[in-house]
């Protein structure tokens, strides 16, 4: 595959949380300002000639059926090209992919990819939980978010002896990392006992096995390597992009111990980057639930199938482990404002590769980082992006 390279020259986000005092537009503005401020040599917002905005749930804040035009107006970029991307939990990482396509094709030069999500303007009952009444009126009735992932935990525990302690170790590690990340929703540690003793949400998952509902926004600025030189001496390059789909109904899965969308997306991204899992210095992966991270680190090739639980328990995924996972705190601690999540993960990868991650900085060996989301009905969409500091 031959493609024109894309560089990331700026990235930023706002402090995640229950941002009752900020509108969707104000959150977008905050992330945009942070991204512009991160550009080493500065950037005139007028340089931006296209915006791709990821928002998964306009229904949560009264913007049913909106297009992309809300965001340019809020950013003072009225008139600019803008498209809204909605592709389930990977909406943000897919918007990044589409932005890269726009730059690589030569159609646009400087592109803003921004993810914004208002999760808390509606109550939980009327928000994500209401999803349980969506989809097929019988075959998916009652399928709220944990129902898409908890069946994999049941089966992974049955087939591989994965324990609740192993699941809990993911939450403990991500909360630890989140405490080191000033942008994380949760800024506190949890213990294995606290995770195990938390109220059950959806067996076998308890409250601390689940990510919170978080408001947030994040933005990255991408351009051609040629234009990148105007903005920074330390650009980060896009090395690989992969997206894959899987059937939307759980009953169409051929197994409940892995997610084929993740396997498909990562193998495409590795092939495009000509890199493999051992070449990654860190990864930001989709840990909407503790079990999801265990599935991810297996499906992304960091550990053998069935070994993700024990690897987590033994600290292999900690900041000083063999492959640090979710250094930002992940969805479990940083939060999961759906459209913003992928962009926020890319921002963490960008900081890590530029060695700007402060107390949670990992040791760079190869200079590559991986970002991953999986989600949607039947966890049927996954996107993997690989960033690098290699030329």
Partner 1 sequence: MPEQTGILLRPLTEEGRTVAISGVGVAAPSLLLPVASINESWGRKGGRGQLAVCRSDEDTLTLAVAAAMRALHAGELSPERVGGLWWGTTRSPFAEGPAWSYVAAMLRLDSDCDGSILSGSPHSGIEALLAAVDAMKSGRVDNALVVTSDALIPALGSTHETACGSGAAAWLLSREGPAQLISTASSWEPVLDRYRGSTEVETRDAYDGRLFRDEIFLPIVSRTALALGAPTDTRWSTADPDGRLGSLAAKELSDDPPVSLGTRRQLGDTASAAAMLGASAALDEPGPLAIIGYGGGRATSILIEVDQPVAGAGRVEECLDKGQPATYTQVLRARGQLKPSGESVEMAVPPGSAMFVRDEREVLGLLGARCVECNTVNLPPSVHPSCPGCGGTKFDIQRLPTTGVVQTYVINQTMPAPFEAPLPLVVVDLSDGSRVQLQGADDGSDLAVGSEVELVPRRYTIERGVPVYGWKVRTLGDSQ
Q: By the criterion CB under 8 A, which residues form the site for partner 1?
A: 124-126, 129-130, 132-144, 146-147, 150-155, 158, 199-205, 247, 249-253, 256
Sequence-separated (6 or more) residues with CB below 8 Å from residue 68: 51, 52, 53, 82, 83, 84
State which H helix or E strand residue 256 sits in.
none
Q: Please, what's the b/e burial string for 236-245 (b: 16 or more CB within 10 A of its CB; e: otherwise)?
A: bbbbbbbbbe
Residue placing its CB nearer to partner 1 in the complex, 96 or 289: 289
Residue placing its CB nearer to partner 1 in the complex, 36 or 250: 250
Residue placing its CB nearer to partner 1 in the complex, 42 or 134: 134
Give dist(CA 123, CA 264) in Å, integer.
35
Give dist(CA 36, CA 41) in Å, integer.
10
Question: How many alpha carbons lie under 13 Å from residue 204 in its C-beta half-sphere?
Answer: 19
Q: Is the peptide bond before 204 cis (omega within 30 degrees of 0)?
A: yes
**Residue 297: closest CA among 308, 306, 288, 311:** 308
89 is catalytic: yes
Calculate the CA 51 to chain-centre distance: 19
Residue with tokens 């689940």: 210
Residue placing its CB nearer to partner 1 in the complex, 10 or 146: 146
**Residue 324: closest CA among 357, 275, 291:** 357
349 is catalytic: no
Taking a C-beta distance cutoff of 8 angstroms, is the pair 55, 65 a contact? no
Phi, psi at residue 200, to the nearest 5°? -70, 135
Q: How far is the CB of 171 from partner 1 (least distance, A)?
A: 17
Residue placing its CB nearer to partner 1 in the complex, 225 or 248: 248
Q: Please, what's the b/e burial string for 154-182 (b: 16 or more CB within 10 A of its CB; e: otherwise)?
A: ebbbeebebebebbbbbbbbbbbbbbbbe
Give dist(CA 339, CA 126) in Å, integer.
19
Q: How far is the CB of 322 from partner 1 (least distance, A)?
A: 30
Q: How far is the CB of 271 from partner 1 (least distance, A)?
A: 23
- What's the burial of 91, exposed, middle or buried (CB within 10 Å: 0-12/13-18/19+)? buried
Segments of 90-155 assigned E as strands: 110-117
Q: How far is the CB of 123 from partner 1 (least distance, A)?
A: 9
Calculate the CA 235 to chain-centre distance: 21
Q: How far is the CB of 145 from partner 1 (least distance, A)?
A: 10
Residue placing its CB nearer to partner 1 in the complex, 277 or 306: 306
Q: How far is the CB of 267 from partner 1 (least distance, A)?
A: 20
Token couple for 110: 């400087």
Q: How far is the CB of 377 from partner 1 (least distance, A)?
A: 11
Residue placing its CB nearer to partner 1 in the complex, 141 or 365: 141
Give dist(CA 133, CA 126) in Å, integer.
11
Catalytic residue, from 82, 89, 202, 288: name it. Answer: 89
Catalytic residue, from 108, 175, 185, 336: name it. Answer: 336
Residues marked active site are found at 89, 336
């Amino acid at each position: 595959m031959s493609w024109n390279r894309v560089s990331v020259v700026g990235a930023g986000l706002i402090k995640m949380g229950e941002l009752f005092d900020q509108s969707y537009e104000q959150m977008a503005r905050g992330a945009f300002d942070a991204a512009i401020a991160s550009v080493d040599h500065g950037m005139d917002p007028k340089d931006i000639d296209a915006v791709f905005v990821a928002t998964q749930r306009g229904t949560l804040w009264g913007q049913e059926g909106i297009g992309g035009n809300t965001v340019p107006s809020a950013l003072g970029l009225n008139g600019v090209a803008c498209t809204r991307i909605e592709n389930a939990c990977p909406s943000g990482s897919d918007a990044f992919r589409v932005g890269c396509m726009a730059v690589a094709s030569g159609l646009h030069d400087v592109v803003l990819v921004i993810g914004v999500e208002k999760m808390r303007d509606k109550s939980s009952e009327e928000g994500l939980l209401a999803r349980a009444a969506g989809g097929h009126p019988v075959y998916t009735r009652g399928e709220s978010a944990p129902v898409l992932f908890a069946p994999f935990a049941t089966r992974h525990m049955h087939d591989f002896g994965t324990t609740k302690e192993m699941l809990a170790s993911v939450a403990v590690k991500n909360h630890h990392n989140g405490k080191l990340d000033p942008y994380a929703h949760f800024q506190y540690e949890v213990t294995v006992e606290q995770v195990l003793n938390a109220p059950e949400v959806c067996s076998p998952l308890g409250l601390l096995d689940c990510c919170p509902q978080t408001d947030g926004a994040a933005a990255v600025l991408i351009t051609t390597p040629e234009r990148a030189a105007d903005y920074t001496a330390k650009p980060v390059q896009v090395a690989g992009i992969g997206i894959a789909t899987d059937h939307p109904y759980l009953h169409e899965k051929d197994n409940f111990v892995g997610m084929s969308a993740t396997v498909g997306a990562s193998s495409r991204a590795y092939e495009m980057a000509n890199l493999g899992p051992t070449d990654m210095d860190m990864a930001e992966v989709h840990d909407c639930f503790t079990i999801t991270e265990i599935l991810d680190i297996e499906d992304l090739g960091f550990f053998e199938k069935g070994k993700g639980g024990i690897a987590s328990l033994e600290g292999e995924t900690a900041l000083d482990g063999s492959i640090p996972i979710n250094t930002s705190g992940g969805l479990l601690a940083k939060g999961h404002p759906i459209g913003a999540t992928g962009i926020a993960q890319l921002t963490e990868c960008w900081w890590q590769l530029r060695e700007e991650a402060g107390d949670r900085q990992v040791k760079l060996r190869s200079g590559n980082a991986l970002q991953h989301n999986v989600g949607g009905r039947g966890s049927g969409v996954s996107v993997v992006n690989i960033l690098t500091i290699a030329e």
